[in-house]
Structure 1
Amino acid sequence: MARAKSIALALVVVLCQLILLTAGYAFRNCIEDPVQRKTFSCIYRRQSNISALVGDLPFWAETLNLSNNYLHTLPPHSFPHLHQLRILRIDHNHLQIINAFAFYNLGQLETLNLSSNEINHLPSSAFSGLLNLTELILSRNVLETLSLDIFSGLPILNFLSLQGNHLDNFSQIAASVAHLHRLNKLDLSSNYLQSLQHSSSLPQSLTILYLCKNWLVKLACEPNLLSSVKLLDLSYNKKLQSAALQGLNLKNITYVRLRYTRVSPDNLLSLTNVNPGHIDFSGMSLSNKFKLEELCKLLKSRKKKLHKLILQSNEIQNLENVTFSNCPIITGAVDLSHNRLKSTDCLYFLKGQNYLTDIIVEHNVLTSLMSCQKLNFSFPKLTRLSYRYNRILYIRPFAFKQTVRIQTLNLNINNIAYMDHKALRGLNHLTTLRLDNNLLTDIYEDSFEDLYNLQILNLRNNRISVIFSKTFHNLNHLRILDLGGNKISQFQHWAFFGLNNLTNLYLDHNHLKEIESRHFGPLQATLQVLDLQQNLIRYLPNSTRSPFQNLTKLKDLKLGGQIPSGMKLLPHGFFHGLNSLKSLYFTNNQISSFQTDAFDDLTSLEFLSLDNSGIGMVQLHPGTLKNLRKLKRLSAENMGIESVSADVFGNLTELQVLQLPHNAIRTVDQALLNHLPNLRYLDLHECPISCTCSNTWLQNWTKINYNVQIVYLYNLDCPDLPGSKFYNFDIEVCYLDLGLYLFVSTSAIIFIFSVLPLLYVKLYWNLKYSYYVFRSWFGERWRKLHDEEEQCKYDAFISYNSVDEQWVLDQLVPNLEGKETSLRLCLHHRDFEPGRDIVDNIVNAVYGSRKTLCIVSQHYLRSEWCSLEIQLASYRLFHELRDVLLLVFLEPIPESQLSAYHRMRKVMLKKTYLQWPGPDCSDPTRAQELFWNQLRRALGSSNSSPHREDEKGEWSKENNFANQQVKDDTLYYLMP
């Protein structure tokens, strides 16, 4: 049977994992904490079904919070695959029914919180399988009874809270916990217990027992029931009499509370064996001096020394000088909080208690602290003095002369409007001073003059408007200075002089309009935390000097929420100098546009919050975050960002958390995620992500991605498809036609690239020959229809390199223009129009001449201008079907060199070309004469057809004659 259950459980786990793999890294109702991994929060999801909350959670979850939902029932095996869970919270739901084996398989669970529900019954097997549970909280439910074996499966339970239920049978409770041999703390407060009558004993391990706020009248228990208890709280049992404690063994009690019962101190001491030094005498009606004096005498008779004396909530109004003179020596604290004291009279009532370490007079009605300059006694051991929550209006000079060795002084939450310059004189051992939440308007140069050992000074929430020069000049050891919540609008020169070790400075919620680097001069070597939130700071565009340029050690800076409507503008270089900054809070500022260099100086930044810092639609320009390569967490909620691109966020290679909820984002750049290799958490909820084909990749990515958590993916609506969700909108339409088109196009391309090479190899020359034969035939017919040729300005445009200019002037021009032919030639240096663009001149020369004569040499081939000229002439030859191009080679050029000049080789293949006879031929004169005759004939031929049969016959004759009279290398005619 056990094996079958194990197999079934394994199958369930595998099924859950398959579901997870299908869904990618996103959860329907939960969020995994990006910092504390394996911690999941599923609060405020309005879910009534436990499977809807935890069904898609991964098996590795260790902490799970399901509070503030609408759960009504936990069925058996509610968490089948979460076998690694250690902490589970299901508080503040509407749970009424927990079925047997509801928590089965949670063998690693250590803490279970079921408080604030409506549970009225627990089956015997409700907690079966929780072998490692140490803390069970069932407070604020409606339990009336407990089955005897309800906790039998919790062998190592340490803390059990049943506070705020409807339990009235202590014997039943004792029986249910009797076997919990490791139970240390049991909370039964706020139930309906009337007695401690029992049939079973409490575990010997139980040391803390809360029974306050019940209906206890008598205890009716065996004397040793509470023998192992050390902390016992019986307060607020208003009918509990002293006699109820008679005979109880309370010798191990270290703290007992009997506030607001009918137990009197004298009866408690006389009827029980409790140690007097371990009794809390709060709320025991010790309101007048006679009762206090009697208590002191009684304590002194029982004990010579007392560790602490707690006298809270006794309605004490006055304490005379001799009130505590009869008390034993108190070596710890005297607590007089929650009384009605109007004055302490320099603590004269405690005179002689030289071993006191703490005096606490909080929540009274003190109105002033008088001067104690003339006193001749002190408290040499006193280290802490607290006057919080009083009505103190002013403090006189030398008010603490009798407590000069204190280290902590709490004067916060009073009405202090005036503190004398000498009020704190002599407190040179003080390390912590709290003056927050008062009405102070001014602090002076000598206010803290003697506090040279002070480390923490809290002046928050007063009415200080100016920090005067050298106010803190003697506080060389001060580490934390809190001036937040005041009305500070300016700092005088040297305001922070002397604060050579200050690390934390809080100036938030003041009236500062601007800050300058000079203000922080003495702090530049030590300041690490600076809070400037909620001020009036604003800068103009021409502001260039950074107020932080000297704060090279600053690690945490808060600039959020400048009033009334944000900073509006970040000047150039505003953060210059903050090379060590780790965290920047820039929330609730209405910046219209962030300049591309706004954050360039923050090269060490790891956390950046820009929440609510935009006006309308904010455009983050490419490069704005380019230097934040160490950034690990970026929050930019509700900034009106419209797009998320790699140009903006692509440099954040260390980014782990990207929070962009409540923006106007419709698409996400697909390339972005490739630039963020360490991203683990992406929050886009409440963004109108478009459910169109442009986002199909994102939908697919969310299904196969296992590294980046998409927050509330299943709640992303489709703004363009009402009623649809982004994670499952129909993407078939995006691939149906596209796939067909891709198939057809790729098939055609493959076919073409397969067939063309075959055709080229097999039929190229046949096709080309046929083409030229047809074009020659067609050109001849066209010439016969058009006898007249177009009129041109020149007979020939001479294309040559300047190096060959001498040959052109000495040989070519005289033989073509000086003879009987009188041809009109176009030469660069002579006929180009001065001042006109060289390209325009070349174009006009080519198209204004019947033919183009190219004088080819090695220099010609290396000239860019010559290349342009032959390309233009070739265009007319090949595309306009005009026989306009003639080639003359001044020197032999190997074909290997011509192979790089594709167009020239193409011309040579289809056209006759001439080569100038060199000096090494047998008869240079005859060869040159023949050369000029043939060149003149070529220049005088018609442009109509590049292949004329009559000319071809004549050229062949003369070529044969030349072969007989001159060596073969003198003159070449190469026909196609």
Structure 2
Amino acid sequence: MLKASLLLPLMCISIFAYEFRCPQLEQTTSCKCRGTFEWWNNRNVSILNCSAVSLQTIPNLYGDQSSYAITKLFLNGNNLTRIKANEFLPLQQVNEIDLSRNLIETLENDSLSLVSRHLTRLVLEGNRIALDQGLWFLRGLQTLNELVLDSNTIQNEYHTLPGILFRDLQLTSLRKLSIKNCGISKVTPTAFLGLDQVEELDLSYNYLESVPEAIMSMKRLKKLVLYDNNIDIVSGHSFRGLSHLSEIDMSLNMMTNIEDDAFEGLEDSLKELKLYSNMLSAIPSSSLRKLRKLHFLVLSKNNIHFIQDNAFNGIPNLKMLELDYNPLIYYNEMFSGLEDTLETLTLRATKLTSFPVNALINLRKLTDLDLSLNQITKPVGIGRLALKNLALARNNIVSVSPLAFSGLSRSLSLDLDNNNITNISFLLDVTPCSFSYLDLVGNPVRCDCDTERIINSGMILGIGGTCSLSNGLTYELNSGSTSGVIQHLTQKCNTTEKTLNCVNMQFLSTSSAATPQTTFVFIFVVALLFVTVS
């Protein structure tokens, strides 16, 4: 009740809009003005939205006094070609300007100087700005926190981002820099001088063939994204001196080799490494060793067949591992070294034909497992793992044995969508409340008396999917919307009373599959003892 009483005032504040309009601008242009109050940082926000209204010039803002209070200006999706000096003069309080998806080739050197006092975010994506011809229009934006230069151009013959491009611009507050999809093949080693405070750099969708040496001047860098380039080898000492770097994404490259000392210097900082969709044929164990803080590793969609012995030794805190779309060969203890750390494992589309319980049994901390998009026909041994969430979607499962859940130690969320399961009577022979949720969407489940018992008894907390009658009619399995199927089934089945409430009932662990009748007796005996003692 206390939490609800505290939340209500916040909800009221969040929808409050204070009175703010730009009547003259709304009459003379297609722009719209509105004011809001951001309760999370306790400030008024005045927005002038001139996006996608075919503007060829910035609208005249001088005649409307309310322009001086505008904090966000959206001019994206127009036909602007040039930004002149003094055009933003009445916007001295603005902290965000979006000029993306125009035809801008030139921003005059003083075009942004008058908004430099408060401007924190500038978006120039999707224009025709030649980045290698100089960025002097940015000079003096000392409050700028985020700069987006994506999808602009490089005009020099070698598609090189030139040196000292940012050095003298005084961007002392810049934390996020994005230069995606600009056709960059090389970066001059001195290109990022002057960006000492940048924490996130995104160079995705370019043509880089190696990790650019220029990043070594960005001593506070925490996140580096090199997604979708042409990097084939990560050389030794590629991240030298970047002791704060915690996240690297080099997915969708052409990587065949990562040298042993590639990540040297990141032993106590690197937490996330994404190498999705490369050409690696093995776990790069030598280069990963000693990464003491690494907790998330993505190696999906490479060409890894066999995980070598002790491949994960030396990564003592790895909690999440993705190996999807690799043609893996499974064997016992293939995940050696991760027994007491790994919590989440995804093995989608790895050509599995059976449930790999022996390869997983030693992963004592494993709670989330995704085996979707494989060819598993009969899941077995699920109860031997201490899982909370298991995904077996889009396999070849026709039937499920209750013995698969023997020994289950906690309630399980099980995703079986888009298999070929017709009968769900296995639920009647599994300990009640074994499933926190069961997803059966896309399965040809039959509506029968077992279905009625499962729905009406309350033995499962939540179930998704449909069942079909012999006449072709289809009904939702969710008990909240099954009146149609229940009315039909109760005409030929004995109506089952609801005897369980899985919301309030604690899951009972058993070493073998228990019947509902067994559990009812257990509960009755416990209740009887309680009454006797009282």
Alpha-carbon RMSD across the aligned residues, in angstroms, is 4.5
Deviations 1:903-955 (A, max 9, x none): xxxxxxxxxxxxxxxxxxxxxxxxxxxxxxxxxxxxxxxxxxxxxxxxxxxxx
- SS state at 1:409 partner: strand
Query: In the TM superposition, what are the counterparts of 1:619-630 in structure 2 within 5 Å?
Result: none
CA distance in 2 between counterparts of 1:337 and 1:671 reads: 57
Task: Name the aligned partner's letter for residue 247 of structure 2.
Answer: T
Higher relative contact order (CA 8 A, sep 6+): 2
Which one of 61, 74, 89 corresponds to residue 257 of structure 1? Answer: 74
Task: Name the residue aligned to 2:255.
Answer: 440
**2:196 counterpart SS class:** coil
Q: Counterpart of 1:251 in structure 2: which amino acid?
A: Y
Which of 317, 329, 332 is equivalent to 2:130?
A: 317
Describe the superposition over 1:867-887 as per-residue Cα deviations: whole angstroms up to 9, x where unpaired. Answer: xxxxxxxxxxxxxxxxxxxxx
Is contact 2:382-2:408 (8 Å) kept? no
Quick check: 1:665 aligned with 2:483? no
Residues 205-235 of structure 1: CA deviation (Å, up to 9, x unaligned): 5579xxxxxxxxxxxxxxxxxxx86221213
The correspondence of residues 417-436 of structure 1 with structure 2, limited to 5 A, is: 417-436=232-251
> Secondary structure at 1:470's aligned position in 2?
helix
Is the 8 Å Cα contact of residues 397 and 420 (structure 1) preserved in structure 2?
no
> Does the 8 A contact of 1:421 with 1:447 survive in 2?
yes
Say if 2:361 is the partner of 1:549.
yes
Of 685, 689, 705, which aligns to 2:466? Answer: 685
1:354 Cα shift?
Answer: 5.7
Deviation at 1:476, TM superposition (A): 0.9
SS at match of 1:522: coil
Aligned to 1:600: 406
What is residue 487 of structure 2 aligned with on the other side? 727
Closer/same/farther in 2, CA of residues 510 and 399 from structure 1, 3 Å limit: farther
Using the alignment, how far apart are the partners of 2:299 and 2:223 within structure 1?
18
1:652 aligns with 2:432: yes
Task: Give the AA of the match of 1:435.
Answer: M
Q: Kindly tell me: are residues 413 and 450 of structure 1, through their superposed partners in 2, closer, same or farther at Cα, counting changes over 3 Å?
A: same
1: CA distance, partners of 2:451 / 2:118: 75
Cα-to-partner distance string for 1:475-506 (whole Å, 9 max, x where unaligned): 11111111122222122233222221111111
Select which of 348, 355, 379 maps to 1:533. Answer: 348
Residue 376 (structure 2) aligned to one of 552, 556, 567 = 567
TM alignment of 1:237-636, pairs within 5 A:
237-239=53-55, 241-242=57-58, 244-249=60-65, 250-259=67-76, 260-261=78-79, 265-266=83-84, 268-269=86-87, 272-275=90-93, 278-282=96-100, 286-287=104-105, 291-292=106-107, 294-295=108-109, 297-300=110-113, 303=116, 307-320=120-133, 323=136, 326-329=139-142, 331-341=144-154, 343=159, 345=161, 348-352=164-168, 353=170, 355=172, 356-369=174-187, 372=189, 377=193, 379-388=195-204, 390-396=205-211, 398-452=213-267, 453-517=269-333, 519-538=334-353, 546-562=358-374, 566-568=375-377, 576=384, 578=385, 580-591=386-397, 597-613=403-419
Distance 2:453 2:101 in 1: 66
Farther-moved stretch of structure 1 (414-423 vs 587-596): 587-596
Match status 1:709 vs 2:479: yes
* C-alpha contact 1:470 1:496 (8 A) present in aligned 2: no
Q: Is the 8 A contact 1:404 1:429 kept in 2?
A: yes
Secondary structure of the equivalent of 1:727?
Answer: helix
Residues of 1 paired with 2:255 and 2:21: CA distance? 44
Q: How big is the shift at 1:264?
A: 5.5
SS at match of 1:230: strand
TM-score by length of 2: 0.72
Superposed displacement of residue 668, structure 1: 1.9
The corresponding residue for 1:639 is 421
Residues 502 and 184 (structure 1), Cα distance of their counterparts in 2 relative to 1, 3 Å cut: farther
Distance 2:124 2:35 in 1: 30
Query: 1:396 and 1:607 mapped to 2: Cα distance?
Result: 41
Cα distance per residue 1:800-847 (max 9 Å; x no partner) = xxxxxxxxxxxxxxxxxxxxxxxxxxxxxxxxxxxxxxxxxxxxxxxx
Q: Is the 1:470–1:498 contact (alpha carbons within 8 Å) kept by the matching residues of 2?
A: no
The one-letter code matched in structure 1 to 2:149 is: L
CA distance in 2, matches of 1:529, 1:457: 15
Please give the TM-score of this superposition, normalised by the length of structure 1: 0.42
- Measured after TM superposition, the shift of residue 467 of structure 1 is 1.2
Relative to 1, partners in 2 of residues 1:329 and 1:464: Cα closer, same or farther, differing over 3 Å?
A: same
Q: Secondary structure at the match of 1:557?
A: strand
State how far apart, in whole Å, the 2-side matches of 1:591 and 1:252 are: 62
- Unaligned 5+ runs, structure 1: 1-109, 111-133, 135-155, 160-181, 209-227, 614-637, 692-698, 717-725, 735-976
3-state SS of paired residue (1:348): coil
CA contact (8 A) 1:417 1:440 kept: yes
Structure 2 residue 27 is matched with structure 1 residue 197: yes
Q: Distance in 1 between matches of 2:274 and 2:225?
A: 10
Conserved? CA contact 2:304–2:326, under 8 Å: yes
Question: 1:236 aligns to what SS in structure 2?
Answer: coil
SS in 2 for 1:546: helix
Contact 1:484-1:510 at 8 Å conserved across structures: yes
The CA deviation string for residues 427-470 of structure 1, in whole angstroms up to 9 with x for no partner, is 22111111123332333322222322111111122232211333
What does the per-residue CA deviation read over 1:624-649, in whole Å, with 9 as the maximum and x for residues that have no partner? xxxxxxxxxxxxxx3132x6267524
Letter in 2 for 1:363: N
**TM-aligned CA distance change 1:299 to 1:608, over 3 Å:** closer
Distance 1:203 1:236 in 2: 14
Question: 1:575/1:499 Cα in 2 relative to 1: closer, same or farther (>3 Å)?
Answer: farther
Q: 5 Å matches for 1:876-915?
A: none
Are the aligned partners of 2:139 and 2:171 in contact in 1 as well (CA < 8 Å)?
no
Please show how residues 939-954 of structure 1 align to structure 2 within 5 Å.
none
User: For 2:369, what is the secondary structure of its paired residue?
Assistant: strand
Aligned residue type for 1:409 = L
In 2 relative to 1, CA 554–234 (structure 1 residues): closer, same or farther, beyond 3 Å?
same
Name the structure where helix makes up a greater proportion of residues: 1
Q: Distance in 1 between matches of 2:37 and 2:86?
A: 20
Is there any run of 5+ residues in structure 2 with no aligned partner, and where?
A: 1-7, 39-43, 495-534
Shift of 1:405: 2.1
Identity within the alignment, %: 23
Structure 1 residues 238 and 322: CA distance shift in structure 2, 3 A: closer
SS at match of 2:73: strand
The residue correspondences of 1:39-188 to structure 2 (distance < 5 A) are: 182-183=16-17
Give the Cα–Cα distance (whole angstroms) in 2 for the partners of residues 376 and 240 of structure 1: 33
Counterpart residue identity of residue 72, structure 2:
Y
2:51 is aligned, of 235, 238, 255, to 235
1:303 Cα offset (Å): 4.8
User: Is the Cα–Cα contact under 8 Å of residues 418 and 440 in structure 2 kept in the other structure?
Assistant: no
